[in-house]
Structure 1
Amino acid sequence: MLPQEIIRRKRDGARLDPAEIDAFVRGITDGSVTEGQAAAFAMAVFFRGMELEERVALTRAMTGSGTVMRWDHLSLPGPVMDKHSTGGVGDKVSLILAPALAACGGFVPMVSGRGLGHTGGTLDKFESIPGYRAKPDRATLEKVVKDVGCAVIGATDDIAPADKRLYAIRDVTATVESIDLITASILSKKLAAGLDALVMDVKFGSGAFMPTFEKSRELAQSIVTVAEGAGLPTVALLTDMNEVLGLTAGNALEMRECIDILRGGEAEPRLYEVTAALAAELLALAKLAPDAAAGRAMFDKAMRSGAAAERFARMVHALGGPADLLEAPDHHLDAAPIVRPVYPDRSGVVSAIDTRAVGIAVVALGGGRTKTTDPIDFAVGLADVAGLGASVAPGGRPLAIVHARSDAQVEDATRLLRQAFTIADVAPAKGPLIAERIGR
């Protein structure tokens, strides 16, 4: 099948059959489809869209473009499960969720990504730990998953290679926002991980990837429907990203926050609730709990008992990190030399937050990327970030505390933060933290 004919048919609004889609994805993988042809295909899909059967076929083809993990030979005594988030600012859920699920009897080979733009990346947070091997060999990964129950790692080059090439092309051709292509991109990697169950955290709000709540819902519905069509039981929660999740934004700072929570410290309520809700849904979906309410009770027990903390510590050490990270995080995690509060220009209540701009402030400090190849500074970021409804004042409660390497970085972050926060005299009306559940 000629690539240009497949492109033409989609350009003209035709429904592609699985054989056409499979042939085109094979061409993306082996290089017989040129960058120009892949870009034209992405643009045709962007404007013409895909029907459900096409989305499933594209997802399956991209999954099959590389290695698909199998776990049967390990005789694991529980289901293989994972969670995926569409990204946000301060989204540190995975740091707590993966070990908690392992403590509840699940096995979690969590293939995570790096941060890009205003969003942070789970992989970057774990790479803030000295010695942590984010891309272990297959034998090590299998051993850690079997022995510990969880391993948070980065995708290797043989996992859905067609997605890597197509995503790079989408990134420079203004086709990233295609729901069809986003769905296939996310699910091809999750299906390649050999999962039995998946929970999706689809963000909406000022710090979310999708521009509107309606688009976030459309993406969640697409992912759940296509995943089910490809044989992967999936539930999605639409969760609020109109403010930072938790109290910190920045890699080592977020790691410290989660370590404190795992050790029994008080968790910021929104962070705990989102993590608990995702755990509850996934434990029920994977049949480790009879329903979500029972799954929530299991999660709470794993957190209170220290079982989740124990799994976290074992995972970090098994993947090359320090054995005493949980006991002595400040001994191992990098810290910025300058720590300075940013105060508002007036007293009042935080009535709105441009959460994306808060993420950009972290990038300006050196804690994020604008290109996937950019180096990042693990130590910098924001702590004690004010949430919606917080009372702030000059010389009183700050908007955030900046952790930086230089005075110039502090000045840039201060300017961005003051622009990001709207201060009023009355507290805003807040919407639900978890707006909707989509799935079986």
Structure 2
Amino acid sequence: MRLRLAASLCLALVATLPAQAFEQGRVVQGEPAVLSPRERVAVENRIVSERLETLLPRLMAETDIDLWLVLSREYAEDPIYFTLVPQPTFAARRTTLLAFHRKPDGSVDRLVVNRYPLGEPYTSVWSGGDLDAQWEALGQLIAERDPKRIGINVSRQWPIADGLSKGLHERLLAVLPAGYESRLVSAEDLVVRWTETRIASEQALYPHIVAIARSVVSDAFSSKVITPGATHTDDVAWYIRRRYEALGLPVWFMPDVNFQRAGVACEEKAPFCGSEGIIQPGDVLHTDVGLCYLKLCTDTQEMGYVLRPGETDVPEGLKAALADGNRWQDLLTANFRSGRTGSEILADTRRDADRAKLVSSTYTHPIGFFGHAAGPTIGMWDDQSGGADGGKWPLYPDTAYAIEGNIKARVPEWGRQWVQVKLEQSAFFDGEKVTYLAGRQTQWHVVR
């Protein structure tokens, strides 16, 4: 049976489809539904159009950009190119020049100067075959629109806002009207705001996407996949990857699976604890996985436990450690307030964790079109001082985050050996509160 959705199906309905999924060409029960690549096009294109129509004008006004240029060449696309164009698009064929002009009434013209017109939601202002003529057409467009501030994607701080290559920059300078060079400004603030802001349609879809990621982790940390004494951590990592790929969902990094074990020391000052190898009874398991679907990415870390012979439940010391991890999450998200910078949130979280006598580390980041997205950096695993450049960026409403970090706790059942609970859950900030997009882990996954 194949799941078919009409192009007009509302996005809220897509987000609440029955718990089904594709596996080897058939639908099976137990996971959120996944649209086929063909069925995704209508959903993705509707969102692109909505974002360009409703969000971009507001952000261009907010960042005081009159004309935004996103210039790309085939195989050297600007990092945000695919967030702006309709699907199915695989490349900026030859050279694609996108221009967004903010008019006096606040609306934005979406223009393309390209050998191959993109169609809706863009208006083609030139099409032909000569590259020099294409660039001259862009120069003519700029002269006709006469923008005061021309945003280009160059940035020292944000990689995703630094997509204008040197070669394209030189060609742009060559066709600018005389004296317009002084009108060029970095569009980095616009790029960050564009990529970090989630519109209502995306907010409706995101919980469904995160639920897919979490459901695969739940299966991976079970006896369906793990045979203690035989299964290697790499076997589990590749199982997760193959499951996502079978659903047609790309991972944006190789899944990681590791274990901690009684008798194998976890040092209090070590940034991370965990080993790879054959999984044994009594092991604490950890995974870090990320997938992208409908242009939105997830980032998830969860914990599991392998029962020993005779055990029927997770040791109380490990339950208490996970509860400490949840407590750390609560301290962090309680400090989310609009306008506060990532560094300010980090400083208050560290203070609150110290008062609660939690041994913790915070390294939370924005998420959305990219797994490691731009926006407020709330600590880094190798820098808890708050000195990262992204730490200066303020928190805005309608943004999503990977609530990422870890705590360490002593486990009485392990002779008071330290265990590290590493957690990461995707969450949404609406300007007032943080909501986990598909819940969070509050109980151990158990391999029985």
Q: TM-score, normalised by structure 2?
A: 0.30
**Higher relative contact order structure (alpha carbons within 8 Å, sequence separation ≥ 6):** 1
Between Structure 1 and Structure 2, the one with more helix by share is 1
For the pair shown, which has the larger CA radius of gyration, 1 or 2?
2
Q: TM-score, normalised by structure 1?
A: 0.30
Between Structure 1 and Structure 2, the one with more strand by share is 2
